[in-house]
Chains A and B, each alone.
Chain A
Amino acid sequence: MPVLHPEFWRLLSPEWVLVCFGTLFLLLSALPATRGAKRAIGVMALFGFAVVLVLCAQTLAALSPGMHVAALTGLDGQIGLTVDGFSQVFKFIFVLGALLTVLMSFKYLDVEKAWTGEYFTFLTFAVFGMMVMASGVDLLTLWVGLETMALSVYVLAAYMRRQEPSVEGATKYFLLGAFSSGLYLYGTSLIYGATGTVQLGAIRLALMDRLAHGGPAAVGFPLAAGLVILSVSLLFKAALVPFHWWTPDAYEGAATPITAFMSVAPKAAAFAMLLRIFVVGFLPLAPMWTGLLSLVAVLTMAWGNIAAMLQNNVKRMLAYSSIAHAGYALVGLVAAGRSQSNQGIAAVAFYLLVYAFMNLGAFGLVLYLQREGSAGDQMDDFDGLIQRSPLMAVLMIFFLLSLGGIPPMAGFLGKLMIFYSALDARLYLLVVVLAVTSVISLYYYFRVVYHMFLKEGAPNLPAPSAGRPLGWSLALCGVAVLAIGLYGQPFLHWASQAVLLGR
């Protein structure tokens, strides 16, 4: 009679505690309840994510310092996932994103009168899927995680299903997402056909074997085609150009807290999966895929920033800006493939952490401006904010400066780390593009500042109200953006724990 090892339960505690919470929310939401009772589920979700956040930190600390990996064995050897520094760092980012999202959701759900228990259930299960994506070490486990996350996020994107834009955006996202998921499986089948395995470690061994015996020609077309097809689906999930078309519509239509969540957590999860697949499984092929991904990175940084300049809707602008930021993170991934150090991976992890704070903060400001009958996402909504609520305007400047990569904000440090890792890997072209596009991005970030400071707002507009949870989350993001920017050492150290075995 096989019994799972106690260690197993301890190492996977974030996952199973999260699933327990998700199931609890589901059961509670089936009860007929008043709005107040539904709010209680929100409070519970807050508590749940906080607990899981602690568990993530705890499991990370418990990993043996030298190796940062714990082997998990099932009945017959490996069971398709691992718990290592990399996975735990990323899980922390996901849960943090979800926690801030829950905090921000209170005001939105109050204003829209859209409280349900399912909202938090899907949020919880989405984070569970991301955790599987960060931990999985074979292509099928990763797929299960990817789909769990994707299905939850499709539903969340369509959450305001009485509003046409929400449904439209979600439909586009769903159709393309379903297609990309099919592509992932097709790519996997080609890789399986060429190597006889779906486990990333074994794929790597097979690749090294082939390269040693036959040189690059021995890799074979099916394997290369499989890798390209598979990466298309991941590039789609991370919303990288040219697979980004769904992003602005889905982001604009979705409920604002969900947009904030989508721009942070699923993106980070897609990057975790990209890193795991490319840097563990396909490292021997790095000369091939770094070229491809460099191209994608250049396109993404250029197009994301240029298109963001043309937007008048702040949510749309932030959508394009999030595309551009994914391009910056991709530079770190390419660097990780090129150089022999772990610097690139740590840079990506650090960047995604910083990005979570600053992007959620910026979306939080949109939420702050939301009132009955208006989502608060037009440029004009920001007019004269400095007079109405100076504190919030200053916070928004923090976030925008950070997004633009201006010292002393955290975004600057994040970009710097990416910069260093790219220089280290001698990716000069990417470095130049990164620098130039960052400058371009200042234009549209400062447009918001211009609206806040120099435009006159409508005369008798009441001062927007934040409500306590949103206020807390904004304060947390603001403090984090400033603190990481001024004193980044502990955070950099924390991110450097995100190493991948076999480097």
Chain B
Amino acid sequence: MTIGWILLSLMIALCALGVVLARSPISSAISLLIGFVGVAILYLALKAEFVAAVQILVYAGGILVLYLFGIMLTDNEALRLTRQTHLQAWPVFVLILVLFLAVGHKLYHSDYTPQQPDSLLMVTDQSQVQALQDRLAQEAAAARHATNPQRVARVLYGDYLYPFEAASVLLLVAVLGAVFLAKKEV
């Protein structure tokens, strides 16, 4: 199992490097595609099937195709031979490497424990605290039997209902903005 993890992580990391280092934008895009699929497999291995499917459906099957579209319509030889990075890249690379090693080292040696959400913080009445704790325990028990999509749904339409609705405004703005800037006359 560990070997699988290492191989998968290695694959994703190599693809990420490929995205940055490849000369031709198409190679970058294909590296990105394989990287996306690799991340999806990672999600699957973590038993987050829903996120895995969405990862493929949205990123690989949707966004990346649009990237390819853009690349193909703007493709020319000069662009393909242009260096995408310059000398500044090296110090930045060293900096990122240091950051990465430091973070990785710390994460590797830390005992990570997820914590309960802070619902209690906002409630002042003691009886409410008890009721809330009971409900959280109940839901935790129910969640253990729920399938992955059901659990995602509970979080999305429960805890994160408001940001979820706000995200619909965000997407509307994005679509509108793109259409507005691209259309012919004011």
Contacts and interface: CB of A to CB of B under 8 A. Distances in A.
* Chain A binding surface, main DSSP class: helix
Contacts of A74: 158-159, 161-162
A132 interface: yes
A125 to B, nearest CB: 5
B177 A152 contact: yes
Contacts of B158: 74-76, 79
A344 interface: no
Interface in A206-228: 206, 220-222, 225
Given A148-B173, A151-B173, A196-B115, A76 B139 contact: yes
A77 B131 CA distance: 11
Contacts of A79: 158-163
A311 interface: no
Contacts of A336: none
Contacts, number: 147
B21 interface: no
Interface in A137-191: 138, 140-141, 144-145, 147-148, 151-152, 154-155, 158, 161-162, 190
Contacts of B177: 122, 151-152, 154-155
Interface string A76-89: 11111110000000
Nearest to B102: A221
B130 interface: no
B94 interface: no
A201 interface: yes
B102 A225 contact: yes
A125 B180 CA distance: 14
Given A122-B177, A151-B173, A155-B181, A78 B112 contact: no
Interface in B116-158: 116-119, 121-123, 132, 135-136, 139, 154, 157-158
Given A78-B118, A197-B115, 14 more contacts: A22-B169, A75-B154, A77-B159, A78-B119, A78-B159, A79-B160, A116-B186, A118-B176, A141-B166, A151-B170, A161-B186, A195-B115, A196-B112, A202-B116
The 7 A-B pairs with the shortest beta carbon distances in the complex, nearest first, are: A77-B119, A75-B158, A201-B118, A196-B114, A202-B118, A155-B177, A71-B122
25 contacts: A26-B176, A69-B122, A74-B159, A76-B139, A76-B158, A77-B119, A77-B135, A80-B159, A114-B186, A121-B176, A129-B166, A138-B163, A140-B160, A141-B160, A148-B173, A155-B173, A155-B181, A161-B181, A161-B186, A199-B118, A201-B118, A205-B118, A221-B105, A222-B107, A225-B102
Interface of A: 19, 22, 26, 69, 71-82, 114, 116, 118, 121-122, 125, 128-129, 132, 136, 138, 140-141, 144-145, 147-148, 151-152, 154-155, 158, 161-162, 190, 193-197, 199, 201-202, 205-206, 220-222, 225, 502
